[in-house]
Each structure stands twice: as C-alpha cells, then as structure tokens.
Chains A and B, each alone.
Chain A
Amino acid sequence: MSDEREITLTVNGTEHTVEVEPRRLLVHTIREDLDMTGTHIGCDTGNCGACTVLKDGEPIKSCLMFAAQADGAELMTVEGMEDLPEATDLHPLQEGFKEEHGLQCGYCTPGMLMSGKALLDENPDPEEEEIREAISGNLCRCTGYQNIVSSIEYAADELADRAATDGGAVTVDSPAGTDGADTACGESGCGCGESADLFEREYPTEDTDR
C-alpha cells in the first residue's frame, strides 16, 4: 500500500535518485535521505518557514510537500549558496547576515536566506516593505527582524555595488553582446563562457560532505 517509488531531485545542481514512500515529506528527504541538514524543521505545522527551499526558483515550505511531488524538480538549499556565481567566500546574503548580526540562534537563518534569495532574484533593489513581505512567511524568535531586513539590504547593496564597479558579478556584459546574465560565469573578465545560471552550472556530481 505504501510502495516506495524512485524519484529524481536536482539539489544545488547535483542530481540525486532516491526511493521514497508517498508519505515522505520533501524536507525529510532533503535532510535524511540526502544528508543535507542545512534545511531545518522548526514548527512541523507549515508556519515557521525554517524548511524553506527554492523549487524551480520559487520559495516553498518543504514540510508542506511530499518528496514524490518534487520528482524532476530543481531545488536549491542553503548548502548551494556558496557555489553560486555571486558568492565569493560566502554569498552576499550570508555576508549580510554576518555583518549585520542577522541571526542569534541561527535556526531560522537557512529559511531566511532562501526567502531573501528568491526576493533578490526577482527584485534586486527592494524597498524595506518588500523585504518584510518577502520574509513574512519566515519566523524568527530572536532578532525582532530588524537585523534580518538590514542583512538583506546589505546583500542588495553589495550586489548593486559590484554591478556598478566592475560590470558586476551577476550581470556581466558578455563579449558577444548577448545577455550577460544568462551566459557569463560572472567572474569579471573571466571569459570562460560558463553559464551564470544556477541550474546550468556544472556542480560536482558526487554528494559533498556537508
């Protein structure tokens, strides 16, 4: 009755095939089958947003979806942030949370980062109100949110500064004059032709130990 089935998930660019029961939640598959424990389970009720991941670029709560429903999907979790083209050591959002004290206990942070990422992908220069709306499905019990808003503003400013000063790590004009955001790897003057698009980048094919 609860036959396992095989599903394929692409998480942070790496394809994984796992066997899941129909009742298995996506968050459990990410944490327990794929051993990627950066995605947290906070409330178990769909309220807190600690389990937020990006599914095909959109933030969703991975505790409100069965893993089988994500078969074939592209997922991004907090573990993927440092591999993004705009990341140096850390991703600018992560830098922001560090610089602006955007966390105390850190439990909500992976979900906040995912919601912040989704916002900046859609709207690189958000108003404070828009940031607050974007993280309204993520609860933090430590910070009072102000520093989280500042952290996301920090990242937006950082990304804008880079775009202004060196052609940008995110929106590079490609030599061929094609759409740089989609075709350049993002390293200024790199010219390697690698895609800056998250899901077109080459990632290690083995599970990384995180």
Chain B
Amino acid sequence: MKSAPFEHHEPSTVEETVSLLESLDEPTILAGGQSLVPMLRFRLANPDVVVDINGVDDLDYMREDDGYLKLGALARHADVEDSDLVAEKYGSFADAAPLVADPQIRNRGTVVGSVAQADPKGDWGSILLAHDGDVVAHGPDGERVIPADEFFLLPYDTTLGDEELITEVRVPTPAPSEGSAYHKLKRKTGDYAMAGVAARLILDDDGRVDTARLGMTAVDITNARATDAEAHVEGERPSAELFEEAGELAAEESNPESDEHGDASYKERMVDVLAQRALGDAAERAGLVKRRVSQ
C-alpha cells in the first residue's frame, strides 16, 4: 500500500528543523523510518507534512564527551553494534544492539528514533532508564534536557513538545566499578521483545552494590524501572540469592499483558529470569565479583 501524499521537507540544520516544526501544521519527523515508513504505508499515520532529518548536519555521531556517552539523532543501531567503544565499556548497549530487529533494519533505524517512538517494546528506552540517561531536545526556546525517567508517558507518547526535535540521547560514562547488561526474550529475529531487562550496577570499594538500576521492556505501558528490585539490591553484596530475590521483585513490579506469545504470568516469570541474568552479567562486568548466577 502507498502512503497518502505528504509534503516532504529536508532541512539541513537543527535550527532550520526547529523553525519548520514551529511553522508547519503537525509535522512528523522522519529519521531511520523503519517504524514510520510502514505506518505511513498502512496509513496508520497520515501526516500532511514529513520533515526528513537525514540530511541534518552534525547529528550522525556517537562519542564520549563531557562525562557522557552521546548518541546523535542519526546514530544507527548498526553504529552501536559495530562500535569498539561500546563493546569495551557499555555492556548493555553492546548486548542490545545486535538484538534489535534484523541486520537491514539496524543499518537504517536510529537509537533516538526508537526512543522517540516510545514503543514499550523498544529496547533502548529500558537501557536509557537503567543508565539514568537523558533525552536532549531542541525547540524554539533552545535546548532542553529531559531525564529518561520523565520522558515516557504512554505507549507512543512522551513529554517531548510538538515543536521539539530530539537531537541526542546520552548516558553518563561508567564509574570505575560499573557494569551493565541487557537480556531479551523474543521468538525469532525481527520480533519485538516478549520481555527484556536492562541492568546496571555500580559497586563500592567493599564490593557492595552502591547503585542498582533495572529497566524493563514490553512488560508495562512504557519502558519502566523496577525500583523495588533496585532498592533490594543496593547496599548488598552481589550473590545468586540476592539476584533471585531481585528477579522476583521485578516480576511483581512488571505489568505484562497476555498475548499470542504468552500469558501474563509467563511473562512475569521471564522478567524474573531475565533480571537475574542481566544482574549477573552486570555484576561480572563491574569487575569485582565472579559470576555466580547460573544461566
């Protein structure tokens, strides 16, 4: 099926994009297009105006800068997958990137576009939450930094303003004893997650958990943190028993819906298992403990 006709704009700077967003009537932003193009074709989305940002200068980057790992709006999933920096220091990103969709889609789809889409089954939202990340938006009043915790409202709905463009997502560079991981259950390549859990742990000098974060995919109306599980882990020494308890708490905190892939109780059990695995990997990567959680 063809998209309905639309007016196509191709700005070349962030400023130009923002002024288009201000002046045009309900424009839709096109980045990687791997979700938007099918929506346009099935006429689930029928914008009169599409603002294609693929030609905007200086948005195609992924770098450490000023205490953050920053991903520009045109950084593709494949850029994360292929990055040596990510492989070395950002375990959850390295885990997640190859699990997004399929190789062709990873060559086009963007991390920021996935976050902006705010599908609760998207992987990157959970990772941003687990990393205390930010969404950086540009609008008529300049730059606005939105903590990931305050970004997701409902499926496909966020606190981004109509006249704002997300130029970047960023997460703090890791502390010395920090590790992160992402585990995802999906039926086959190309499917969205049935459930996913991102974990991040910072250990103190005694090997106790100073900071714990868990972000969950596809088991609530948005990507969501498991704050009870986080609190249970903080202050404790990593152990299989501790992570089993955390997994149970995360499962209790999740609110999955039954669908053709499994009923809600099954998905809760999967959250439990995935949380244990992600916490185990994160603890191991934090470098101070041996892996003691069995797969």
Chain A bound to chain B: yes
In the bound complex, CA of A170 to CA of B6 (Å): 45
Task: Give Cα A119–Cα B31 distance, bound, in whole angstroms.
Answer: 25
Contact of A46 among B3, B8, B34 (CB under 8 A): B34
Q: How far is the CA of A44 from the CA of B2 in the complex (A)?
A: 10
- Minimal Cβ-Cβ distance residue in B for A111: B104
How many angstroms from the CA of A104 to the CA of B101 in the assembled complex? 26
Residues from chain B with a CB closer than 8 A to the CB of A205 are none
Contacting B102 at CB < 8 Å: which of A5, A25, A137? A137
Q: How far, in whole Å, are A44 and B1 apart by their CA atoms in the complex?
A: 8
> Which stretch of B48-56, B144-152, B173-181 is in the interface?
B48-56
Residue A115 interfacial (CB < 8 Å): yes
A25-62 at interface with B (beta carbon < 8 Å): 25, 44-47, 49, 52, 58-61
> Given A46-B34, A64-B38, A69-B52, are A23 and B103 neighbors across the interface (CB < 8 Å)?
no
- Is B190 engaged at the interface, CB distance under 8 Å to the other chain? yes
Complex Cα distance, B78 from A22, in Å, reads 26
Instruction: For A63, list chain B residues within 8 Å (CB).
Output: 37
Q: A32 to B78, alpha carbons, bound, how many Å?
A: 30
Distance, CA A70 to CA B101, complexed state (A): 22
Residue in chain B with minimal CB distance to A64:
B37
Q: How far is the CB of A117 from chain B (nearest CB, A)?
A: 13
Choice from B1, B41, B107 contacting A60 with Cβ under 8 Å: B107
A-side interface residues, number (CB < 8 Å) = 30
Would you call B3 and A23 a contact (CB within 8 A)?
yes
The contact string, 1 if C-beta is below 8 Å from chain B, for chain A 1-38, is 11101000000000000000111010000000000000
> In the complex, are the beta carbons of B38 and A58 less than 8 A apart?
no
B14 to chain A, nearest CB (A): 19
CB distance from A98 to the nearest CB of B (A): 24
Tell me whether B8 and A68 are in contact (CB under 8 A).
yes
Q: Which of B1-22 contact A (CB under 8 A)?
A: 1-8
A1–B5 alpha-carbon span in the complex (Å): 7
Instruction: Report Cα–Cα, A64/B50, bound state, in Å.
Output: 15
Bound Cα distance A61, B105 (Å): 7
A1 lies within 8 A of B104 (CB): no
A199 close to B (CB within 8 Å) = no
Q: How far is the CB of B27 from chain A (nearest CB, A)?
A: 13
Residue-wise interface mask of B (55-80) relative to A, using a CB-CB cutoff of 8 A (1 in contact, 0 not): 00000000000000000000000100
Smallest beta-carbon distance B18→chain A, Å: 21
A60–B5 contact, CB under 8 A? no
Contact B3 A137 (CB under 8 A): no
Most chain A beta-carbon contacts within 10 A, residue among B78, B101, B105: B105
B34 near A22 with CB under 8 A, answer no
A128 CA / B274 CA spacing, docked (Å) = 27
Q: Are A64 and B6 in contact (CB under 8 A)?
A: no
**Residue B189 lies at the interface, judged by CB distance under 8 Å to chain A:** yes
* Contact assessment for A136 and B189 in the assembled complex, using a CB-CB cutoff below 8 Å: yes
Closest to B34 in A: A64
B40 at the A/B interface (Cβ < 8 Å)? yes
- Name the one of B54, B103, B108 contacting A64, with C-beta atoms under 8 angstroms: B108
CB distance from B179 to the nearest CB of A (A): 25
Q: Are A59 and B107 CB-contacts (below 8 A) given A44-B41, A64-B34? A: yes
Residue A133 at the chain B interface, CB threshold 8 Å: yes
Taken residue by residue from 103 to 134, chain B's Cβ proximity to chain A (1 for < 8 Å, 0 otherwise) reads as: 11101100000000000000000000000000
Contact of B2 among A1, A23, A133 (CB under 8 A): A23
Assembly CA distance A63 to B102 (angstroms): 14
B residues at A contact (CB < 8 Å): 1-8, 33-34, 37-38, 40-41, 48, 50, 52, 54, 78, 98, 101-105, 107-108, 189-190
**What are the 10 closest A-B residue pairs judged by CB atoms, nearest first?**
A137-B102, A22-B8, A2-B5, A136-B189, A23-B3, A137-B104, A58-B107, A61-B104, A64-B37, A59-B104
Q: Mind listing 7 A-B residue pairs with CB under 8 Å?
A: A23-B4, A44-B1, A61-B104, A64-B104, A66-B37, A69-B54, A134-B103
